Amino acid sequence: MAVFEAYDEHDAIGLADLVKRGEVSAADLLETAIERVEQRNPIINAMSQNLFDHGREAIRNGLPEGPFRGVPFLLKDAAGDLAGYPTTNGARLLKHDVAKADSTIIERYKAAGLVIFGKTTTPEFSLAASTETSLTGATRNPWDRGRVAGGSSGGAAAVVAAGIVPAAHGSDGGGSIRIPASCCGLFGMKPTRARNPSGPKIGEGWGSLSVAHVLTRSVRDSAAMLDVTQGMAPGDPYCAPARNRPFLDEVTTPPGKLRIGYQTLPVSGAYVAEPCRQAAEEAVKLLTSLGHEVEQVSLPGDWQVLQQSLWVLVATNIARSIGVLADKRGSPILPSEVDRVTWNAIESAYKMTAYEYAVALHSIHHQSRLMAAVHEKFDIILSPTVATLPPKLGVHHTDTDDIGVYGAALAAFSPFTQMFNITGAPSMSVPLHWTEEGLPVGVMMSAPFGREGMLFRLAGQLEAERPWFHRRPDLQG
């Protein structure tokens, strides 16, 4: 089979169009992607499972006539099951835990014609802003291999930045799509809570904090992907507000004049490094030149209360997942079977009470009310996506000997993103800035609950004004 030389020139929609017109075959696209895995993954270490034969078989059996028919696609090794293969969640404990059925979102990816041929790395149980675990080792940033690719969808970001696929599945429970998008120079949208289904095994991710979507090079790929996956499934506990029209149509629709609040300091008070501040300030100038109204804003909230609420929701849901596995095998999980950060979450959860869980839910719902009031004045909240450049590898490893150092590093690196997991509102990282050393720095923009359309309109305008699609890291040597 032939290698498709023009692979880099097209996004997922463009590749699907070539397949539809008969200019390239799905088989040739898949072999091109596989060749890139073999050439580039040894450099970045972003693949957790190579499922090449699964992709080949899907093509032989005939692909559905969906909008992404024939496009190679990779799944995050978490936040969704592919029948017949393990969902490891980045954990040694789960490397042989084979899924019996597809998750709903995976069914929808398949129905769209995507060719799934592997899974990407993720930190153990998605508990880090970098992708470094005992199971798969360290995933490296394609732009600087000594730095993190972000997490928890770090493998997904690395394979897209490296040109292995134009889009890859991810999930975001505290910034896990937006953080790696910033680190790797990609577009990353966290949709509204329950926009995409989490079932059928669970009703919601991490007590409503987490939602799945994709990381992409182009804005239109993200929008079109959300069109094929969005919408509630039978049995879902709740759903996001209905879209006004297809999200893909929003990308080419002018956003109008937006009222934008520029956040210079996170609610936590964490220090913001100059390159990240500069990225946001340049975005403010760009948005002002495009006719938007921008002013500074300080967001409300008691960060100590919110941070504790996040920890209660995350730790208890991790402990539940571990408990289900222990019940299945008929013996308790031992500390030696998981990384130290995971064991810390389990131990913490077992000390928590039902009262604390109720308090945590009340706290995030109260914060949602406060942020809804902010959005009465501002259509968009803008900030840096992260507060520092991607850290060097090692600090965020989930098997760290010092949980305190790990926690402080996480708080320093990513103090902005969690707010919109708390509220469930849509939030995106846009690759608008690169440092003099060539490192990408994302700018985060967030909209009211259910208003992804507004974000896609703005992102489409920014992409047209300051294109980033053809920026590529050097992966030679």
Give me the active site residues, please. 76, 152, 176
Block residue for tokens 């072999």? 31
219, 460 Cβ separation under 8 angstroms: yes
Token pair of 140 as six digits: 């490296």
Are 78 and 90 within 8 A, CB to CB? yes
Q: How far is CA 26 from the centre of its chain?
A: 26
Nearest of 209, 450, 189 to residue 309 by alpha carbon: 209
> Residue 55: left if φ>0, alpha if ψ -120 to 50, beta else—which one?
alpha
362 φ, ψ (degrees, to nearest 5): -60, -40
Q: Do 132 and 123 meet the contact criterion of CB atoms below 8 Å apart?
A: yes
Pairing type for strands 187-190 and 211-216 reads antiparallel
Residue for token digits 């017949």?
Answer: 84
Q: How far apart are the first and last CA of the chain?
A: 26
**Under 8 Å between Cβ of 92 and 338:** yes
Q: Does residue 110 contact residue 64 with C-beta atoms inside 8 Å?
A: yes
